[in-house]
Amino acid sequence: MRLLSVKHFLLATCSIVLLSCAQPENILTFELEEASVTDLQQFMREGQLSATTLVQAYLDRIAQYDDQVKSIIQLNPDALAIARVLDEERAAGKLRGPLHGIPVLIKDNIDTGDQMLTTAGSLALTFAPAPDDAFVVKQLRAAGAIILGKTNLSEWANFRSTRSSSGWSGRGGQTRNPYVLDRSPCGSSSGSGAAVSANFATLAIGTETNGSIVCPSSTNGVVGIKPTVGLVSRDGIIPISETQDTAGPMTRTVRDAALLLGVMAAIDSKDKATTSAQLHADYSQFLDENALKGKRIGILKGTFGNHEKVDAVLAKVVATLEEQGAEVISDIELPERENIGKASYTLMLYEYKDGLNNYFASRPNSPIQSIEDLIAFNKENADQEMPFFGQEHLERAAEMGSLEEPEYLEALEQVTLNARDAIDNALASHNLDALMGITGGPSWTIDVVNGDHFGMGSSSPAAQSGYPNITVPAGFVGELPVGVSFFAGRYEEPKLIGIAYDFEQATQVRRAPKFLKTLPTE
């Protein structure tokens, strides 16, 4: 399914956006579908495209297709006005960077101090917009990116119920997988993954506590980077876990993800985790088609043997890694992780309560000022907020004490030390450059009654340690994409970006979704 050429948009807008319109035939071959940041910048540089035209084209595509996907929870009413200003800057020779004039979609748990709401998908926060931009949104605006809108998500970032359906929220309804519409987009950054895959924007931002960037990236056939905790500020992002939360890029290519990460990564005095971050202003410098040569990649034990068709994809992944010059070591174990046990859940419950209460305090005009207020709101509005599943995680978190409780401090030490040791020791003892696992299996059928039924995954080691993880499209099981994850030590994003880029360029398995209603059964 190909999008119409932007020729008619250019003809309609060239009089007001200072475009060169003398030869419109030059842009007949340009189409938005699968366009990268580099493609878009080239067309804008050559005067064949403007930011205003680009925003309008994406708005039209969203209007045409998102009623099927339901990935967008709200569009930015200021997007076109912002685009016109950026076009004027370009015409005057002022360029802010590689994202100048590029639309980006952000998850609806990230504050924007504009006309859009920030709700985590909940009706409880629909009273008014947030008072200010999140730090990462300020970074995007300063870089010339255009906030096109907010994406739907699993409500409260998928930490509300044990039977939640990924991509469902009280405010946004059920997001669907654009490859096969009755399949799950995975969560919680479901809308970001589905939207960028469906070509509703070139760039999207998700957030992850454990799997919420990499899983929706995998099931929607896109690239996702879960950065080291501390590389990207969490200021203005509705939290779950101080220890594990981070925002990260979700894009169709590794190059675009690297460009976006360079804008997002920065030190912020409001987030103490960023104060010792090892930053790079430009992560695209680490794109290397020969990065795999001489690398030692360890495959986590248990990666193979879960699904025969996924195993076939993985076998091709291994073959590609070896063809590109890497040495692949199988059955890498992480024994220290056995010592984590239930402490991870305990840790998240304590931090969830503390984090939500602190976030609510940052919005003093909100009728929701505590986790108890939120629980009460959901009960009072159960027909809209809890028609399918409950709020067990919220209720358990509300029972926790402060972050000075011995139980919390013990859980914190138990999780973080063992999680970090697991990766650090595996990399060191086997002389590895990175670890590898299947990001997730093929997407499951949406089931709002019984909830998600994940098949497999590898997000927890990197999530619980706070270390970086990058997923890249690896292949398909029929019409359903699956991704492969590479992860390594703290702040080793440059190495992982090189590995992921080399693999991506050698395979090029990404293909645009077809918006199939369901899979054939015969």
Active site residues: 107, 188, 212
**Omega into 188 within 30° of 0, i.e. cis?**
yes
The Cα-based distances of 450 to 56, 103, 164 in angstroms read 39, 36, 8
DSSP 110: B
Helix (H, G, I), strand (E, B) or coil at 421: helix
Q: Determine the length of the chain.
A: 522
What does the block give as tokens for 459?
């997000």
Instruction: Please work out, in degrees rounded to the nearest 5, the angle formed at the alpha carbon of residue 214 by the alpha carbons of 236 and 514.
Output: 110
Cα–Cα dist 194/425, whole Å: 36
Cα–Cα dist 474/398, whole Å: 40
Q: What is the DSSP string of 285-344?
A: GG--TTTTTT-EEEEETTSSSS-HHHHHHHHHHHHHHHHTT-EEEEEE--GGGGGTTTHH
Q: Where are the alpha helices (DSSP H) in 177-244?
A: 190-197, 214-219
Site of tokens 């050429």: 5
- Which contiguous run of DSSP H or E holds residue 96? none
Asked if residue 213 lies in contact with residue 248, where contact means CB atoms within 8 angstroms, the answer is: yes
Cα–Cα dist 278/289, whole Å: 24
| Identity of residue 197 | S
- Which stretches does DSSP call E strand in 125-186? 146-151, 168-169, 173-174
- Which contiguous run of DSSP H or E holds residue 350? helix 343-361
The Cα-based distances of 310 to 228, 443, 455, 475, 478 in angstroms read 28, 12, 11, 9, 10
